[in-house]
Amino acid sequence: MTEKFEGNMESRKEMKTAKKGGLLSGSLPRRDFGKLLGSHMLLLSTLPLAACGGGGGDSDPPKVYPVATPIDNTAAQPATIGSYQRKTGYFTWSVTASGASREVEIYIPKGARQREYWIGITLPDGVQSNKFLGDAGWFDIADQNLACLLIMKPGSGGTWGDVTAELAYVSAAMATLVSSGTHYSAMTYHYVVGYGAGAAPLQLYAANTPLSMISQVYLEASTNATYNALLTAAGNTQVGATLQPNHMDFVGYVDINGNPVTQQRTFAAQYYRDVPIPTWFVGNTAPSLLSYWAGVNDCSVVSIADTNFGQIFWQEKEISNAIATAGSDVKSQVATDASIGRFDNPAVTKNIYGFLTQYSGYDNNSVYGHFITKRLDYKKAIAAGNMVYKDHMWSGSTTQQTYIVYVPDSVKKNYSASKPAPVVFCTHGAGQTAFVFMEATDVKELANKYGFIAVTYDTTTTAYLTDLVALVKQDCLSLGVAADASRLYVYGQSAGGGATTGFARDETLVGTFAAFGITSGTFSTAPAGSSTKLLPFYAIYGEYDYWPMKFGPLAAGDFRGSQGGQYALSANAQDYWLNRLIGKTLTQELALPTYALRDGISASLVPQNTSINLILKPTATANRYRTYTWTRNGLPLFVWGQCYGRGHNLITGDIQKLWEEWFSKWQRGSQANTLLYWADGVGTGSSAVLSQV
């Protein structure tokens, strides 16, 4: 993914031989890390700095640097360009911090997407921003990778001031990175890079907003006792004890009658220090900083030498209590390399970008649902024939839309043009894009794990999905694997969940897909002429969701969800699917239940301050899900799943459940209006026939 450093290879060689296996041959408990760190950092800090890179000879022509212009003076491109940033270029803007106006700069390359992951950069003291960014190669990195940059600069004197005041500036600047900003769009999940004195406020920002961070790099980061105390205080802040969109203590929320909510926190409290952020320290770094972030990331005290990043202390997942890396093989890390000198060396910048983009993630307002995941190398995937990434202007719209078809290696290994593979069409939430939903979720990893083709797309309309199915079939063949027309599935999150309900009412799509699944979603009244055919529908909602996950109507003291008056939509959805699939109203079902209940949480556990080990290491019988299943003629048709601790956004476990318990078991039959249910998975054992009419 990254290129090797070029420079002083002797110092690089010296680092590799300096205790390759770390300080000890064995491992120590997480909290013993700091006892050893001082001696290890002394070793690293005494290594010679590489006299890296820089400009060319005297005969080189003078370098031309772009000049930033006021972003307010730039007209936006029309919305018809679809999911691309509507303003591109190098701009100045201002934010207000502590009552004063401060300048920021923005670089948005041509072709950059909306809701892209941005890189927040705090510049070092005393540099000219455009010259530094140009010499360091940041403009080139942005252009080559369509990465957007938010540049934060020292004050009027050219130096960074008091860290508390500068934190206000950094916070104000980073707050512009929202999905529907004044001039640009960003994912609310970030990469950050801090240089020199600018590292301090940015690092403190990350420590105070860990649920908004993906990964971070700091160069020549220094500290003192006062700053260490600020980091410690940030780490000791309880997640959920401060106001959030979904307050996990339910403090300040009212029920449907305006009375205080009586529910309690389900899982044990988490703190900011429990949320991992992969971190790389470049140059001389204070041992206390490395110790702090090593603790946050649950790192081993044994390091591994790495060509690109110096020494890496990998997360020890066996002892880690980090929810963000549970449920997958993703490991966080803290790396350190004292052998790098010049800030403006392009080779260093390439490795910074390479470190950051090992990871991606999904913004989540519940720490119990927060996760980081691996970032996909799109260029490599396209070059290897694993991906098609296309813009498409469909007949029902004047707006350009993008869709992505991903055929992982596991699918290529087990399927071919003559042996078709299953396909999951993944429908994103409001304001999201094909890129966001492929990149931010674990859809891509699970596609490889379970062996299905994953498709994400920019819009949630029924007409678009109808057109898209035929296009995807062609694209799958172009990648060497046919799409199995009997094993097409559609999955939706949030607004995509509402759209999936719409797909399930469309006669054409009901006859196209074998099963439907959602992880949260709105609900609207079925229009006249909607399909009433039977089909498999699986819904999962989160405990801190926009809409209540409870089965049945809310009672006094119940959390009504975080979207005001939309609390009734969950019960409406239950009533609709029970009517359509089971032939009963919600009222009838509550009076005389017919569901089968699998209770992984409250059958043996009291749902109040439950150990987070239930999230970290679930078992078949003890897990965070409560699942209601209704059958018709012995076949499961409707499932209502409740995911405890989860916020509105999906988690890795949700898609795993949808595949393992739902999509992997359903197939369209060879006869019209029939579906096949395979209890042990499609093609294994025998199947039962469901007549849809």
- pLDDT tens sequence across 333-366: 999 999 877 899 999 999 999 999 999 988 777 8
Q: Mean pLDDT for the chain?
A: 89
- Dist CA 662 CA 664 (whole Å): 6
- Dist CA 230 CA 232 (whole Å): 5
Q: Residue 543 in contact with residue 642, Cβ under 8 Å? A: yes
* pLDDT tens by residue, 572-590: 999 999 999 999 999 999 9
* Residue 560 region by backbone torsions, left for phi larger than 0, else alpha for psi between -120 and 50, else beta: alpha
Closest to 369 in 3D by CA, of 359, 378, 377, 361 = 361
* pLDDT tens by residue, 245-286: 677 888 888 888 899 999 888 999 999 999 999 999 999 999
* pLDDT tens by residue, 131-169: 999 999 999 999 999 999 999 999 989 999 999 999 999
- What is residue 625's predicted lDDT score, i.e. its pLDDT? 96
* pLDDT tens by residue, 44-71: 333 333 333 344 445 678 889 999 999 9
- Dist CA 537 CA 516 (whole Å): 5
Q: What is the mean pLDDT of residues 83-89?
A: 96
H or E element: which one contains 34?
helix 33-45
pTM: 0.90
pLDDT tops 60 at residue 3: no
- What is residue 33's predicted lDDT score, i.e. its pLDDT? 43
Closest to 532 in 3D by CA, of 504, 560, 574 = 504
- What is residue 43's predicted lDDT score, i.e. its pLDDT? 34
pLDDT tops 90 at residue 240: no
Write down the number of H helices and E strands in the chain. 20, 28
- What is residue 61's predicted lDDT score, i.e. its pLDDT? 80
- What is residue 48's predicted lDDT score, i.e. its pLDDT? 31
What dihedral angle (degrees, nearest 10) is formed by the CA atoms of 653, 489, 627, 374? 10
Residue 157's CB: how many other CB atoms inside 10 A?
Answer: 9
- What is residue 307's predicted lDDT score, i.e. its pLDDT? 94
Which residues, listed in sequence order, are joined to residue 423 by a DSSP beta bridge? 453, 488
SS3 104: strand
Q: How far does CA 12 lie from the centroid of its chain?
A: 34
Triad 266, 269, 272: Cα angle to 5°: 140
Residue 245's contacts (CB-CB under 8 Å, 6 or more residues apart) are: 365, 562, 647
* Residue 599 region by backbone torsions, left for phi larger than 0, else alpha for psi between -120 and 50, else beta: beta
- Dist CA 123 CA 198 (whole Å): 6
Q: What percent of the chain has pLDDT over 70?
A: 91
Local confidence band at 638 (pLDDT 50, 70, 90 cut-offs): very high
- What is residue 392's predicted lDDT score, i.e. its pLDDT? 84
- Dist CA 564 CA 553 (whole Å): 15
- What is residue 59's predicted lDDT score, i.e. its pLDDT? 64
Residue type, 28: L
- Angle at which helix 199-208 crosses helix 163-174, to 10 degrees, equals 60
Residue type, 533: K
* pLDDT tens by residue, 455-514: 999 987 888 899 999 999 999 999 999 999 999 999 999 999 999 999 999 999 999 999
Q: What percent of the chain has pLDDT over 90?
A: 76
* Residue 274 region by backbone torsions, left for phi larger than 0, else alpha for psi between -120 and 50, else beta: alpha
Q: Any alpha helices (H) in 400-532, and if so which ranges?
A: 409-414, 434-440, 443-450, 462-478, 495-503, 507-510
Range with the largest mean pLDDT of 4-8, 287-291, 394-398, 556-560: 287-291
SS3 95: strand
pLDDT tops 50 at residue 41: no
Local confidence band at 653 (pLDDT 50, 70, 90 cut-offs): very high
Residue 316's contacts (CB-CB under 8 Å, 6 or more residues apart) are: 27, 30, 298, 299, 300
- What is residue 15's predicted lDDT score, i.e. its pLDDT? 32
Q: Any alpha helices (H) in 105-187, and if so which ranges?
A: 129-136, 138-145, 163-174
Long-range (24+ apart) CB contacts under 8 A made by 676-685 are 677/536, 677/635, 677/636, 682/422, 682/487
